[in-house]
């Protein structure tokens, strides 16, 4: 039994925002562990290209591009997914947005866009897919929901990204509340709070890796395998007893005594 703890053979997974960045890292990890992975993102060409790339590596990745920022978009995605599958083993709520502006100038649009995509959409997408997740889960092996938060929901940074930091703190607590309810249906909800990983969302880590690494106790930014490893652990049988917790994958930054900004 121990040798198959981290296997995802025969499992069906969805990774939102799976076409690039952290979502792509997770999707690749799942594919390489044997899962059939559906990725979704707003930009169809990029989503299609990533699915083709991951499938060519010997796995099975399917592109279903949709905009999940609205309930109509969630409904359309769910409907299309259910044309392909009758059950779902793992849902990764990764799609997200950020917005930065001076406190005195911060717009309502920057609040609503971020809170809707980062908090509202994961909740309602999970709700829409509850039936197929429940069908997959059992006492022997739970279905999984993995919410991608951020260390910005644990430790504030000096940048004026008010709605983003609030949304990620909300996601961590929402993960606990959802976990308490969904475990009744053999669905284990957990989360990941990434630190510095190179992505379009984290341009500092992407463009200034050496500077950012100095602020991380591990003295490097995160690698693709760091994120994939954490996600595979939570998605697999190995992570079945993790319920409601959010795992910081950040090289120790969130709990260090360093300053709030990368490079300080």
Q: How confident is the model at residue 196 (pLDDT cuts 50, 70, 90)?
A: confident
* φ and ψ at residue 124, rounded to 5 degrees: -75, -25
Least confident of 20-24, 143-147, 203-207: 203-207
Number of neighbouring beta carbons within 10 Å of residue 153:
23
Question: Does residue 167 fall inside a structural domain?
Answer: yes
**Average pLDDT score over residue span 132-144:** 97
Asked if residue 195 belongs to a domain, the reply is: yes
CATH number, position 97: 3.40.50.720
Q: Is the pLDDT of residue 264 over 90?
A: no
Is residue 87 situated within a structural domain?
Answer: yes
Express each pLDDT in 90-118 by its tens digit: 999 999 999 999 999 999 999 999 999 99
Of 38, 162, 164, 241, which residue is the catalytic one?
164
Is residue 206 scored above 70 in pLDDT? no
Over residues 133-149, mean pLDDT: 97
The total number of structural domains that make up the chain: 1
Domain with 121, as residue range(s), is 2-249
- 245 Cβ contact partners less than 8 Å away, ≥ 6 residues apart: 190, 191
259 domain residue, yes or no: no
pLDDT value for 153: 94
- Cα–Cα separations (whole angstroms), residue 246 to 67, 154, 159, 250: 26, 10, 23, 12
Share of the chain above pLDDT 90, in %: 79
CA distance 172 to 169: 5
Nearest alpha-carbon partner for 129 in 60, 178, 180, 194: 178
Residue 223: pLDDT above 50? yes
Q: Establish if 44 belongs to a structural domain.
A: yes
| 33 in Cβ contact with 159 (< 8 Å) | no
Indicate if 255 belongs to the active site.
Answer: no
Q: What is the pLDDT of residue 219?
A: 79
């Amino acid at each position: 039994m121990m040798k198959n703890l981290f296997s995802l053979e025969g499992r069906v997974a969805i990774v939102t925002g799976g076409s690039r960045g952290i979502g792509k890292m997770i999707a690749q990890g799942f594919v390489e562990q044997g899962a059939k992975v559906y990725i979704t993102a707003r930009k169809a060409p990029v989503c299609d290209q990533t699915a083709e790339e991951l499938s060519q590596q010997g796995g099975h990745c399917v592109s279903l591009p949709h905009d999940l920022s609205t309930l109509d978009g969630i409904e359309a995605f769910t409907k299309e997914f259910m044309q392909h599958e009758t059950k779902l083993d793992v849902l990764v709520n990764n799609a997200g947005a950020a917005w930065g502006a001076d406190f005195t100038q911060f717009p309502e649009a920057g609040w609503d866009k971020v809170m809707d995509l980062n908090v509202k959409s994961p909740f309602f997408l999970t709700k829409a897919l509850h039936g197929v997740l429940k069908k997959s889960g059992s006492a022997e092996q739970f279905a999984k929901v993995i919410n991608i938060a951020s260390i910005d929901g644990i430790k504030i940074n000096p940048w004026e990204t008010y709605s983003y930091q609030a949304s990620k703190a909300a996601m961590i607590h929402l993960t606990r509340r959802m976990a308490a309810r969904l475990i009744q249906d053999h669905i284990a909800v957990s989360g990941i709070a990434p630190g510095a990983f190179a992505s379009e969302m984290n341009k500092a880590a992407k463009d200034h890796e050496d500077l950012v690494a100095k602020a991380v106790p591990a003295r490097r930014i995160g690698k693709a395998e760091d994120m994939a490893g954490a996600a595979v652990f939570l998605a697999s049988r190995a992570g079945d007893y993790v319920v409601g917790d959010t795992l910081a994958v950040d090289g120790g930054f969130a709990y260090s005594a360093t300053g709030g900004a990368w490079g300080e």
